[in-house]
A and B are shown apart, each in its own frame.
Chain A
Amino acid sequence: MKRKELKQKLWKYAGVGLLMSLGNISGIAQNTSMPKDSAAMYYEVEDIPLPDGLIAETGSIGFLPDGRFVAGFHRGEIMIYNPKTRIWKRFAEGLHDPLGLLVVSNNEILVMQRPELTRIKDTDGDGEADLYQKVTDDFGLSGNYHEFAFGPVKDKQGNLFFALNLASNGAGIRPEIRGTYDSLSRPGRMYACVDYRGWIMRLDKQGKLHPYAVGFRSPNGLGFDAQGRLLVSDNQGDWLGTSKLFHVEEGKFYGHPAGLIWKKDFPRVVPISLPVAQLDSMRTKEIVQFPHGYFANSPTQPVLDNTNGKFGQFGGQMLIGDMDHKYMIRLLLEEVNGKMQGACTPLNVGSKMRIGNNRLAFAPDGALWVGQNDHGWVGARGIQRIKWKGEKHLDLMAMNLTKDGFDLTFSMPLDAESAQNVANFKFKRFYYEYHQAYGSKQFDVKEIGVKSISLSDDKTKVHVVLDDMKAGYVYEMRLGEIINANKTKRVFNSLVCYSLNQLK
């Protein structure tokens, strides 16, 4: 595609995102007395210039220790960009859909491509890789296009984790496969007829691959939070009423039955034929649900803001991208009864942001680089850099469950009148059903009244008491015209969805 055409296309996609997010960010009518305040005042979004001839379906990104940016693209290129000279150079080529990478050193990276995890290294110092070494290919490939592979991420002990997608009955399998075939997991929309499809895998330091956790459909995003917990996103579809984020621990089952057939000692049954109630009792629930359509369609890679304030006020929190929305998603997580759960909220960064936000990485200077992709679905192409301009905006910093409602912590003291106005805190709740069908509508949608509101002495905390608290629901909160104490800022990220698994 020519540059001009690509630009037009990207522009068009940007337009899509704008129209789609209007409903989210401006659901409340503008009051003339409200301060003029918008995301673009706090963040700068810049398009990274791309080399001619690059189809920028970005599958993987990262930073080398020397500060150069590295990215893998759909047509198999691994390119390195020097932000100082603004020059792109080829590092490697010929890979099969590199959808994840992990930087080892200035001349070595690990790349997750369809058939294997590969060590790619420049051994002679000419700037281009000459060694493509298999790290592991100890998993099946049926040849179905939907068997994407994502990752790897590394824990503090040196284990690598990556994810193996299920196949889709949008297509069949190839006459020749790699791995072990099992016909019991061939039926169904998404299937796992070869080994460890639907699993998160762990590669130990000795190079041995272990199945780690099962029950995933299309887990296009792995990351560790500040406490070293492995978080994995998954996409709405069969067995996923809406898109979800899981806290993944060894040996657990997370909901999509197809991959269960590869669990040691699992009975010889078609996993999707098991009663839903039985599967439901076996599964570990997600920690966050992303309401489908108006909030997120396909969440991508979770990343930890470890910039120590260089990216703004959300240090230590997790961000995640989405393919259909032109914002980052910010996660407000907490532990309740020893289990993680929490909320998601948009982090708008201005209208220059495109959709298709597939891969996220923080640069050494604290800017967030985003690699965009469409891959035949909704999305965009290209690479953008988001810089924080240095001023804090008014936003929710934490949402903590209480016995009778929520404690909301804001980023600065609030104007008491707007913060104590019940009309500015609209709650409703609903749930998505766990079932085989593709997606779920919202069940038992009910507005939940606010009984009382109290503001802390320092005016940063609002305690909201609700009419009813019930586990198993998403509590959706829409914030109204809340302004800060100085009356200079307003809340513009107004939608917050808390997945209430555990009551306090």
Chain B
Amino acid sequence: MNPKLKQAFCQFKNVLSGMILLASVPTMSEAQALSDTTITIKVLGGLQFDTPRLVLKPNTRVTLILDNHDDMAHNFVLAKPSSRLKVVEEAAKLAERGAKMNYVPSSPLVIASTKIVEPGNMETISFVLDKAGQYPYVCTYPGHGYVMFGVIYVGQSYIPPFEKDTNIPESQRAGTGNEHAHHGHGMPSSPHPYPIEFPMVYRTFMPEASPAAIAVALTPTESYCWDAGKCYLRYIWTGGFVDNADQWKGNGSKLTKVEGEIYWREKQFPFTIGTKKMVSKVDFKGYKLKKRLPTFEYTFDGIKVAETLEWNESAQTITRVFMLGERTQTIFFNLPEQKSVSYTAKNGQLKNGVMAIPKTVKTFSIIIKRN
């Protein structure tokens, strides 16, 4: 998806997800009978209600369930129109009395409120909204009130577009727009205080790898994932680098996304010693950069290895260059059979995907070409 289209799609998604349309917008003159509705509002991480706005008919009895999925305690306070900030200030003034009062001020501005809902818990409250108006809701837990809020539109003839609605927190209005970090192919701008240069390295949470993964772009389109937890090359892809927008947002729970197509994968540590099938004990040592190109260093069963991946633009191949330390016996290098690529070995011979490496050999290479 091109970035513009992607942005448009995101906005559309926000409109859908951010707004639960419970009734068509009525005209003010319509007589309203009391109707009932049940709404669940989830608390997400990053100080936000999953539903930052709701639209209701006047004279609605609302059963509201606050479902706290965050790892902090929160409340839900529904306030009279235009009084959100006042209620937040009144809550702040409770100071040390706050906790006992669930951080809800005794105020005529408060229409309804939950108690403090601990992480993982839910609470149900009900209230009637009989008159038309824009009713703000907010978490008044200390510090939360200025960023964690939303609005219920009751009987409003005009509702502003989602992205321009100042009753919604700025971060939710904008979606991921401000923090979007799409780069790689056709890279629009750098997410860092310096221009993007290649090769480049990110230690980050990558899919299909241990939590200690490293993403490397050799060029804007040719990238790989090297796993510092397992000490081997996990996969190679083409078509872009990574999108870390979700990973960088907030507390870093979401994975970084691969942009492009993974065409090569490895499932196990590639070196074996003798005929033994035991898993080698690996120890990651770090990496060195030479003109930004990383060389990863590690040991397995005490044997030193350095691996460098290089992109050959004219041949459109990736070369894996290995340097080996001293050892007392022949070791074996195993490659996964994959129809998407073909292998060429340098300074060694591949037989059925296995290369025997005598103890005298100090370096060898594998060239990987996409079929």
Contacts and interface: CB of A to CB of B under 8 A. Distances in A.
A244 B70 CA distance: 22
A131 B288 contact: yes
A348 interface: no
Interface in B172-223: 178-179, 181, 189-194, 200-205, 209-212, 214
Nearest to A295: B96
B143 A297 contact: yes
A171 B71 CA distance: 9
A442 B99 contact: yes
A53 B252 contact: no
A207 to B, nearest CB: 12
Contacts of B194: 51, 53, 90, 93
A41 interface: no
Contacts of A2: 178
A130 to B, nearest CB: 5
Interface string A163-187: 0000011110010111000000000
Contacts of B142: 20, 292-294, 297, 324
A439 interface: yes
B243 interface: no
A55 B180 CA distance: 12
B90 to A, nearest CB: 11
Contacts of A52: 193
Nearest to A375: B251
A75 B246 CA distance: 12
A88 B193 CA distance: 9
A394 B121 CA distance: 46
B325 interface: no
Interface in A92-125: 93-97, 113-116, 118-119
Contacts of B143: 16, 20, 297, 323-324, 378
A439 B210 contact: no
A146 B72 CA distance: 12
Given A130-B290, A170-B253, A178-B210, A189 B193 contact: no
A169 B120 contact: yes
A470 interface: no
Interface stretch (A137-145, A382-390, A451-459): A137-145
B175 to A, nearest CB: 13
Interface string B262-301: 0000000000000000000000111111100000000000
B95 A293 contact: yes
A438 B72 CA distance: 8
Interface in A72-93: 74-77, 79, 88, 90, 93
Contacts of A174: 205, 210-211
B256 to A, nearest CB: 10
B211 A143 contact: yes
A441 interface: yes
B26 interface: no
A189 to B, nearest CB: 6
A75 B47 contact: no
B70 A141 contact: no
A293 B99 contact: yes
Nearest to A325: B143
A315 interface: no
Contact of B93 (A23, A75, A189, A237): A23
Given A439-B99, A441-B99, A442-B96, A178 B200 contact: no
Given A115-B228, A168-B71, A324-B142, A93 B205 contact: no
Interface residues of A, number: 79
Contacts of A50: 193
Contacts of B290: 130
Contact of A19 (B92, B170, B214, B252): B92
Contact of A134 (B47, B147, B192, B284): B284
Contacts of B147: 378
Interface string B151-162: 000000000000
Contacts of A114: 203, 211, 252
Contact of B250 (A116, A291, A376, A442): A376
B211 A178 contact: yes
A144 B71 CA distance: 13
A9 B170 CA distance: 10
Given A141-B210, A174-B211, A378-B147, A96 B192 contact: no
A13 B290 CA distance: 42
Contacts of A23: 92-93, 95
18 contacts: A2-B178, A22-B92, A75-B181, A75-B191, A79-B193, A115-B229, A116-B284, A145-B251, A168-B71, A174-B210, A178-B210, A292-B99, A293-B99, A293-B103, A293-B142, A375-B252, A377-B46, A476-B96
Closest 6 CB pairs of A and B: A376-B250, A145-B253, A115-B212, A170-B71, A293-B142, A96-B203
